[in-house]
Chain A
Amino acid sequence: MATVTTSKKACAVNPLKMSQPIGAALAFLGLDKCMPLLHGSQGCTAFGLVLFVRHFRETIPLQTTAMNEVTTILGGMDNIEQAIVNIYNRAQPDIIGICSTGLTETKGDDVDGFLKLIRRKHPELADTALVYVPTPDYLGAFQDGWAKAVTAMVETVCEPAPKTCWQVNILPGCHLSVADIEELREIVESFGLLPIVAPDLSGSLDGHIPETFLPTTLGGTKVSQIKQMGGSAMTLAIGEQMRPAAEALEAKTGVPYRLFDRLTGLAANDALLDFLSELSGTPVPTKYRRQRSQLVDAMLDGHFFFGGKKVAVGAEPDLLWQIGSWLAEMGCEIEAAVTTTHSPLLEKMPAAEVLIGDLEDLENRAAGCDLLVTHSHGRQAAARLDIPFVRMGLPLFDRLGAAHKLSIGYRGTRDLVFEIGNLFIDHLPEHHPDSWPLTREPAGERHAQADTCH
């Protein structure tokens, strides 16, 4: 149980947090033939674009309504209309995901109203889904933007449908990588179930070589698939952030949901596989029984190196929960936990304190720790502290294969045991003749001893 505190500083130093609109944009990037559109100044889009390009090493479709001072004050109706029409003419997307920004929220643009007018004026857009999500930069964080976008998708696109007992929905949080989504899909399919994953970054940003070059996303969840989600037997929501989306889906279509707050660790995956087995009426496949056994063995081999290690973690709430809980299960002590935004999970963290703060706070608390875990921006702190550093989260701009880093399932957990355990092994203390000096005796005692020698 942790005390949750919020940094009182006026100045954030070395931000851990990123903003809502680009979290929402990333969710839209997991849909097929989609164009995310930030309603703001062109810089909002440019920064997000560069960030994702560096992380995924892929072309990123992301557009802007290109607001300037005058259009902001007059209201953004014309810009949104022009942007949608231009995107439609140039790219013919199936879906346009519109995310507001701090600028247009400060002005107070009524985008829902604008969209109604635009729909009336442009019948040619009838087959293009327009999903709007309000995401002011000055509220919440990246994870919140993602969650709100998925909720908006579900609310705008999903429809009630007759149920198919082998079809299940997967709503992954933004802390799942491309590899994590692929792993989860494979696990669910192995029970004879047919998953619809939304958003599905493993279809769009997995680094495949496309046959052609389109200005929209290539791959990901199709709009038609989102529509069909109402016909599933069950929704698996991964991460606490996905609860509102799962609830919205249930309210709209009657599909019940089960939330898995994390998928790293032995017990967490036991719960998932047990649930899938029960849902499908199929025993857990041999493959996963084998993998479970491998994970147990890895934990046995690895626990020597994890036990008692002091760890500092900086991550968005769901990732912090996933990785922090698992490190604690391996015997580590969470010496410092810093996050970006509120979540009901924070006070359950196995740490004394969870701070909503920045990487300066994390660095200050991480002095003397054995491991630092955060996204690539932690590299300067790790270098200054001179402690082992594991990059996790987004952005990972100084590593290849960020999208393909697997950390869920028995297999992903097993590999994490090896990766982090090996780092601890690299930093095992070396001993010297003077490693164990005798403690000095108190002065009085020494005097007395000297006397008896005489």
Chain B
Amino acid sequence: MGALKEKIIRVMEEPACPTNQGKSDKERKKGCGKQLTPGAAAGGCAFDGAKIALQPIVDVAHLVHGPIACEGNAWDNRHAASSGPKLYRTGFTTDIGELDVIYGAEKRLFKAIREIIEKYDPPAVFVYQTCVTALIGDDIEVVCKRAAEKFGKPVIPVNAPGFAGSKNLGNKLGGEALLDYVIGTEEPEFTTPCDINIYGEYNLAGELWQVTPLLEHLGIRILANISGDARYHDVACAHRARIGMMVCSRALVNLARKMEERYAIPWFEGSFYGIGDTSESLRKIAQMLVERGAPADLPARTGALIAREEARAWARLEPYKQRLQGKRVLLFTGGVKSWSVVSALQEVGMVITGTSTKKSTAEDKTRIKEIMGDDAHMFDELPPREMYRILKDAQADIMLSGGRSQFVALKAKTPWLDINQERHHAYAGYEGMVELVKQIDKAIYNPIWEQVRRSAPWELNGEE
């Protein structure tokens, strides 16, 4: 546990994290995990976070070392898509029992790794530590090392037990596991001057594939996408990329920074949500690649592609402008994604009446103000009861949020769209933004709203 503690402290002091940059040395030392309030907390644990970050590596076996809860209650619950191998969707767990708790479960873990390798022969096994096995002192690093030697296969310990902290911390500890054990251990068959890494893209609902055609058209190769639709070999070769792009609310900011520190791979933070942000990210990739030796005409070709694709996207959005003009959106999602989509929604004439800033940095908040003006409400915290009241009072025509608040909107008989990780639709790139607007239109104009809002004929009040 000593090593884990040190690692957590290092991760929490991450210098590339903008929140940390705004803190004094003393504040930074305290760490970034907000103290949770018992009885009033929500959200996943560090183990959950590590699994979110790494499970999208599709060809490896993800083995959860712990009691049944950690895997049994939670497996196969996300929509990170694969273009090939499906092994990542198989749930593996040591499902430890009482005797394991008493005598230790390291032997069971070792046997479990053997069984997986014998039956499924994956390129690697990832082993996830959990609270109970951490508490009883199972040393997964040692077991993984022995198993790797014995079976001649990478066995990667992911030391992020749930009680170490939040989901966000777990994302970062997942990144650390890749840095410590995976990246730099294999070599690509060939390299090109246009090889890039993407950090923090999980290919939810397959949305990476809304971006790859753009990159392929420009001759840019994603050497390693960490981690959506990734193969173990890709990740192991990530140290040969020319540049890196970090997406998704800085979940893997430590990975991005250390890839630069260790392998001199420069990186930037970008987003593929929103038309403007997609274009800006493509331009940045082109510019950075040229600096690292890519063909000089890349920026010009990128510019041409952007012009063509933007025009096409706006033309496809045109029919929605009239229908969505003045419609009010309540936007509830974590951090960066909020302002990534705001401009596109505004472009089709929608009005953002409020947004959450719970996970946003000071910088994010300034930017939200710039984009939306002072009229927009920013909520740090909005209890469901209050959210329900706002929607019930018809202060919004649609709410965009994660699954957690879905039923607040629906019970208030307000259109709702999922924009978090459980969603089934892909919203990345130009294609994705058109899809998002299409889905919003579909939600708002569904004929059920008028029907469900009408009271039963025998109820006196008539319209609610």
Give the docked Cα–Cα distance between A144 and B140 (Å): 30
Per the bound structure, the CA–CA distance linking A51 and B95 in Å amounts to: 18
- Residues B155-185 near A (CB distance < 8 A): 161-166
A209→B411 contact, CB < 8 A: yes
Task: Indicate which residue in B91, B119, B136 contacts A106 across the interface (CB closer than 8 Å).
Answer: B136
B91-104 CB mask vs A (1 if < 8 Å, else 0) is 11111111011000
Instruction: List, in ascending order, chain A residues with CB within 8 A of B413's CB.
Output: 209
Question: Contacts of B136 on A, CB cut-off 8 Å?
Answer: 106
Q: Are B132 and A102 in contact (CB under 8 A)?
A: yes
Residues of B321-343 contacting chain A, CB below 8 A? none
Given A67-B163, A137-B67, are A41 and B131 neighbors across the interface (CB < 8 Å)?
Answer: yes
Interface segment among B71-79, B278-286, B367-375, B436-444: the answer is: B71-79
User: Which of A14, A40, A51, A80 is the most central at the interface, judged by chain B CB atoms within 10 Å of its CB?
Assistant: A14
B39 adjacent to chain A (CB < 8 Å): yes
Which single residue of chain B is at the shortest CB-CB distance from A38?
B69
- B42 and A138 contacting across the interface, CB-CB below 8 Å: no
Q: Give chain A's interface residue range (CB within 8 Å of chain B).
A: 35 or more
Known: A11-B94, A72-B163. A47 touches B69 (CB 8 A): yes
B122 interface hit (Cβ, 8 Å): no
Interface-lining segment among B107-115, B187-195, B304-312: B107-115
- CB within 8 A of A21: which of B36, B41, B69? B69
Q: Assess the A64–B72 pair: CB atoms within 8 A.
A: no
B48 interface contact, C-beta 8 A? yes
- A213/B388 in contact, CB under 8 A: yes
B-facing residues in A193-249 (Cβ within 8 Å): 209-210, 212-215
CB distance from A175 to the nearest CB of B (A): 17
CA distance A298 to B72 in the complex (A): 37
Given A11-B111, A17-B72, A19-B73: A138 and B100 within 8 A (CB)?
yes
Complex formed: what's the CA distance from A57 to B67 in Å? 26
Contact of B39 among A13, A17, A86, A136 (CB under 8 A): A86
Docked-complex contact B44 and A42, CB < 8 angstroms: yes
Which residues of B have CB within 8 Å of A42? 36, 41-45, 162, 166
CA distance A25 to B134 in the complex (A): 25
Contact of A10 among B77, B108, B384 (CB under 8 A): B108
Is residue B230 contacting chain A, with contact meaning CB distance below 8 A? Answer: no
**Which residues on A sit within 8 Å (CB–CB) of B315?**
none
Contact A17 B77 (CB under 8 A): no
Q: A63-B39, A137-B69 are in contact. Are A43 and B44 (CB under 8 A)?
A: yes
Residues of B near A80 (CB, < 8 A) are 38
Does chain B have a CB within 8 A of A397?
Answer: yes
- Please indicate the chain B residues that have their CB under 8 angstroms from the CB of A12 in the complex: 68, 71-72, 91-95
Interfacial chain A residues near B66, Cβ < 8 Å: 102, 137
Does A337 make an interface contact (CB < 8 A)? no
Residue pair A44, B101 in contact (C-beta under 8 Å): no
Task: Digitize B297-317: 1 where CB-to-A-CB distance is under 8 Å, 0 elsewhere.
Answer: 000000000000000000000
A18 to B70, CA, bound (A): 9
Verify if A9 is at the interface (C-beta below 8 Å from B): yes
A21 CA / B73 CA spacing, docked (Å)? 10
Asked whether A14 lies within 8 Å of B90 as measured between CB atoms, the reply is yes
B101 to chain A, nearest CB (A): 6
**How close is A409's CB to chain B, nearest CB, in angstroms?**
28
Residue with the greatest number of chain B CB neighbours at <10 A, chosen from A45, A47, A59, A87: A47
- For the complex, give the distance between the alpha carbons of A397 and B75 in Å: 12
Contact of A139 with B63 in the complex, beta carbons under 8 Å: no
The residues of B that contact A46 with a CB separation of less than 8 Å are: 42-45, 48
Query: Are A107 and B135 in touch, CB under 8 angstroms?
Result: yes
- B265 interface residue, CB < 8 Å from A? no
> What 1/0 mask marks residues of chain B from 53 to 87 whose CB sits below 8 Å from any chain A CB?
00000000001001111111111110000000010
Cβ of A2 to closest chain B Cβ, rounded Å: 22
CA distance A53 to B383 in the complex (A): 18
Inter-chain contacts of B26 with A (CB < 8 A): none
Mask of B1-24 contacts with A, CB within 8 angstroms, 1/0? 100000000000000000000000
A90 contacts B by Cβ under 8 Å? yes
In the bound complex, how far is the Cα of B86 from the Cα of A45, in angstroms? 28
Q: Is B69 in contact with A213, judged by CB distance below 8 angstroms?
A: no
Known A66-B38, A67-B163, A79-B38; judge A11-B112 contact (CB<8 A).
yes
Q: Which residues does chain B contribute within 8 Å of A106, judged by CB atoms?
A: 101, 132, 135-136
Q: Does B222 contact A (CB under 8 A)?
A: no
B430 near A: Cβ within 8 Å? no
Q: Is A68 an interface residue (CB 8 A)?
A: yes
Q: Which listed residue, B41, B46, B63, B98, touches A138 by the CB 8 Å rule?
A: B98
Least distance between B262 CB and chain A CB atoms (Å)? 29
Which B residues are CB-close (under 8 A) to A377?
A: 75-76, 91
A-chain residues with CB within 8 Å of residue B403 when the two chains form the complex: 50, 53
What CA separation (Å) do A410 and B311 show in the bound complex? 62
B72 to chain A, nearest CB (A): 4
Which of B38, B75, B115 contacts A11, CB < 8 Å? B115
Q: Does B37 contact A (CB under 8 A)?
A: yes
> How far apart are the CA atoms of A210 and B111 in the complex, in Å?
51
Closest Cβ of chain A to B146, distance in Å, is 15
- For residue A128, give the distance in angstroms from its CB to the closest CB of chain B: 13
Query: In residues 262-315 of chain A, which contact B (Cβ within 8 Å)?
Result: none
Q: Inside 8 A of A57's CB, which chain B residues have their CB? A: 407
* B-facing residues in A27-47 (Cβ within 8 Å): 37, 40-47
* Chain B residue contacts of A215, Cβ below 8 A: 383-385
Interface hub of B69, B71, B100, B404 (most chain A Cβ within 10 A): B69
Say yes or no: A22 contacts B68, CB within 8 Å.
no
A17, B162: Cβ atoms closer than 8 Å? no
Question: How far is the CB of B75 from the nearest CB of chain A, in Å?
Answer: 6
Bound state CA distance, A68 and B36, in angstroms?
9
Within 8 A of B (CB), among A125-147: 136-139, 141
Question: Counting CB contacts under 8 A, is A426 at the interface?
Answer: no
* Minimum CB distance partner of A9 in chain B: B115
> Which residues of chain B from 217 to 274 have a CB within 8 Å of any chain A CB?
none
* B47 interface residue per 8 A CB criterion: yes
Beta-carbon contact of B131 and A15 below 8 Å: no
Q: With A42-B43, A102-B67 in contact, do A64 and B38 touch (Cβ < 8 Å)?
A: yes
Whose C-beta in chain A lies nearest to the C-beta of B1?
A69
Find chain B residues with CB under 8 A from A85 CB. Answer: 39
A10 vs B115: C-alpha distance in the bound complex, in angstroms? 8
Across-interface contacts of B74 in A (CB, < 8 A): 47, 50-51
- Docked CA distance A12–B70 (Å): 12
Residues of A within 8 A of B135 (CB): 72, 103, 106-107
Contact A213 B385 (CB under 8 A): yes
Q: Is the CB of A138 within 8 A of B73?
A: no
Q: Is B40 an interface residue (CB 8 A)?
A: yes
Interfacial chain A residues near B113, Cβ < 8 Å = 11
Contact A18 B72 (CB under 8 A): yes
Q: Does B205 contact A (CB under 8 A)?
A: no
Chain A, 438-452, CB within 8 A of any chain B CB: none
- Complex: how many Å from CA A7 to CA B192? 50
Can you list 17 A-B contacts with CB-CB less than 8 angstroms, sorted by A residue number? A10-B109, A10-B111, A14-B91, A15-B72, A15-B95, A19-B72, A19-B73, A64-B39, A67-B163, A85-B39, A102-B131, A103-B135, A138-B67, A141-B68, A213-B389, A377-B76, A380-B76
B residues near A (Cβ < 8 Å) are 1, 36-48, 63, 66-77, 86, 89-98, 100-101, 108-116, 119, 131-132, 134-136, 161-166, 383-385, 388-389, 403-404, 406-408, 411, 413, 422
In the A-B complex, the 6 residue pairs with the smallest Cβ-Cβ separation, listed nearest first, are A43-B45, A83-B39, A11-B112, A86-B39, A10-B111, A137-B67
Contacts A10-B112, A103-B162 aside, 10 further interface pairs with beta carbons under 8 A come to A11-B92, A11-B95, A12-B68, A42-B41, A45-B41, A83-B39, A86-B37, A107-B135, A137-B68, A209-B411
